[in-house]
Structure 1
Amino acid sequence: MRWKSRTVPWILICLGLIFVFPPHPEGAEPSTPRKIRVAFTSLSGSQAPPWIAREAGIFRKHGLEVEVIAMPSGVEGMNALIAGEVQFLQIAGGTTVSAALGGADVIVIATTIGTFVQNLVARPEIEKAEQLRGKSVGISRFGTSIDTGARLALRHFGLEPEKDVAIVQMGAIESIVPAMQGNRVQAGILSYPAITRAKKLGYRILLDIASLGIPYASTGVTTRAKLIREDPDLVRRYVSAQVEAIARMKRDKNFTMGVMGKYLRTSDPELLSESYEIYAQKYLMKVPLPTVEAVKSVLEELADRNPKAKDQDPKRFFEDSFVRQLETGGFIDNLYR
């Protein structure tokens, strides 16, 4: 009886501690979200997954409090990532690979769009690509996917970039159409919704670059390799939130268009609807796996301007384990049930 009388109070104390400090199940997100900063690098519907993840509360669901920052182009975004000002970047694979070749500790962890969703668009008086000889094509910045798209499009028509046709930096993709209107450049490489806006002005689509069917790490998520080594759980959460945001985009058009309108700063239903159909329904990948083929195309294009890109192993520039784990574990399939 004496043993029982002494044991019962201790049992009650232990039970009380369980309620005060409940067990933290493995894989559960912490009650206090991790604060991080991420950036997107173009006013394009291709950049929408982090917008959706923030506005739908998906980041918070995965234990993250995320500040989403706009950068005018991939160049500024990459500089911010390298400096540690942001932890993740929505950016072209080409910009990431180019920075890595230059010694930066950056790596692709997801490819959300695996080809060029861009058009070569010209002023109304330009009826065919040959008429661009001796004229100028506007891009955002050198070293971005917009720059790459310009070079591919010109070579497709037998024109040599910077020799037959000048490539002019505009600073940001949203500056290209106004530059065309002012005849500062006679053509430009555009994505949606800028393509829709240009068509409304009567400009001509000379080439839908996506129709070439080139596998290319066009848009995705980049981080520093150091973060993967030191905090893989943070990376896992961020990638999980992006994948879930893509699923939300694909099944909720009205919500997605509303968020796109906020970040793209437009209420034009035609612009938003076309951007939604092109990106959310057609090109955003349910399983955003980086691939050897997509990164190999990046290296081949860069090799013309950067000898360091020749004979590189594409696997050096991406880490696919986070997306692959979500795929094999059934996380992605469950999002579409």
Structure 2
Amino acid sequence: MHLALSASIAACHLPSTTRNRTGAVAPSGLPDYLPRMSTALPCGYASEGQGVTPLAAALESGAMREQGFDVTLAKMGDAHAVVGGLTSGAIVFGNLAAPALVLAAAEGRADLVFLAGGVNQQFLVGTPGMTLDALHGRPLGMSHPGDLTDFLGQLTIDRVLGGSGELRAVGGSQSRLQAVLNGEVAATPLSPPTAVQAKHNGCSWLYDYAEMGLNFAIGGIAAPRSLIESQPDLVHRFLRGYLEGQRRYKQDRDFGIAVHEKYGETTRSIAEETYDVTHAGFRDFPDPATEGMRMLVDFWKSAGVIPEAFRVESVVDSGPIAAVCGHKAR
């Protein structure tokens, strides 16, 4: 972690127990007659959409402030930028899909680990009238090499289309939707709310990546390994806030819709549909060690993208979330 950022966090770190005037332990760790001090905690996420929902819910519900954090949440553009922010110390926790982090770790550019699973569904969305059979040999859209849509595109060509097809980098979710609508590509992986928007525009959902076990299973919250080792209490408090935000989201549909509308940068009606396809994916124990992560690593090994010696265990740490949830880590 960047030294200045580490020092800032350490200086603001809350004491674990402080007695108030009645002798009881104040929940904040400070006497109840003193203002509560918050730890500034810069966080980042890749781009607008469904994936940031759990972290955004934790921020918007006040769950992070209840844990003593003053969280700022920056949209960084893509998962590669989130990896860069984590390695430079510009952010402390990042929300991102797994491929960019796995690639950076395999290339020795980052020592980061996933601490909690996230929420990310992906659908293969085709041009209006497109069918899966007609997609063979047609170009598919992705965002950038080494990101989630690159991995899903490779996987689609290999396992759904029988090796027939090509990938074209056409940009973020809205750019990919426009590329589908104008015929530049025949299909592309999209997540809600953009996938819902695409359906409203007449596009077809050709394939649900849940059939491969990849929905809600390939990314989430990441942090530098050094933070987990040096400040476990801070990590545990962050994860408690993360879980409380999820609980609030699942219990309060209107709140969840508002989160989707704001962070999905979409309309109320599309946010409502997004909530309805998203909320079931929130897990009470969001273990980052998923079969989806293993599929990513194994597929990229077989394709020669990452070394054969790379292990999925090097980029996930189930220990902190297991401790917070009262589970045994894998």
TM range (shorter): 0.7 to 0.9
The alpha carbon displacement at 1:315 in A equals 2.1
Q: Size of the alignment, in residue pairs?
A: 304
Q: TM-score, normalised by structure 1?
A: 0.82
Asked if the contact 1:126/1:132 (under 8 Å) is kept, the reply is no
1:298 aligns to what?
296
* Residue type of the alignment partner of 1:150: G
* Residue type of the alignment partner of 1:284: F
For 1:237 and 1:119, the matched residues in 2 are separated by: 34
1:237 aligns to what?
237
1:57 aligns to what?
62
2:42 aligns to what?
37
The 1:302/1:23 distance shift into structure 2, 3 A limit, reads farther
2:135 aligns to what?
131
The correspondence for 2:117, drawn from 111, 114, 122, is 111
The alpha carbon displacement at 1:129 in A equals 3.8
The 1:216/1:61 distance shift into structure 2, 3 A limit, reads closer
For 1:219 and 1:309, the matched residues in 2 are separated by: 20
Q: CA RMSD in A?
A: 2.5
For 1:265 and 1:212, the matched residues in 2 are separated by: 28
* Larger CA deviation: 51-60 vs 138-147: 138-147
Instruction: Report the structure number with the largest CA radius of gyration.
Output: 1
The alpha carbon displacement at 1:26 in A equals 9.0
2:321 aligns to what?
323
Asked if the contact 1:107/1:223 (under 8 Å) is kept, the reply is yes
The 1:308/1:177 distance shift into structure 2, 3 A limit, reads closer
The 1:34/1:19 distance shift into structure 2, 3 A limit, reads closer
Determine what percentage of the aligned residue pairs are the same residue.
Answer: 22
1:218 aligns to what?
218
SS of alignment partner, residue 158 of structure 1: coil
For 2:144 and 2:130, the matched residues in 1 are separated by: 23
The alpha carbon displacement at 1:189 in A equals 0.7
The alpha carbon displacement at 1:267 in A equals 2.4
* Larger CA deviation: 63-72 vs 287-296: 287-296
Question: Where in structure 2 are the equivalents of 1:112-191 lying within 5 Å?
Answer: 112-113=118-119, 117-133=121-137, 135-160=138-163, 164-191=164-191
* Residue type of the alignment partner of 2:219: T
* Residue type of the alignment partner of 2:173: I
The 1:197/1:19 distance shift into structure 2, 3 A limit, reads closer
Asked if the contact 1:118/1:209 (under 8 Å) is kept, the reply is yes
More helix by share: 1
For 2:293 and 2:125, the matched residues in 1 are separated by: 26
SS of alignment partner, residue 196 of structure 1: helix
Asked if the contact 2:180/2:187 (under 8 Å) is kept, the reply is yes
Please say if 1:263 is aligned against 2:253: no
* Larger CA deviation: 148-157 vs 190-199: 148-157
Question: Residues 207-236 of structure 1: CA distance to partner in whole angstroms, max 9, x if unpaired?
Answer: 111123358841310000111122222211
For structure 2, the 5+ residue unaligned runs are 1-18, 31-35
2:51 aligns to what?
46
2:100 aligns to what?
95
The alpha carbon displacement at 1:259 in A equals 2.0
The alpha carbon displacement at 1:204 in A equals 1.6
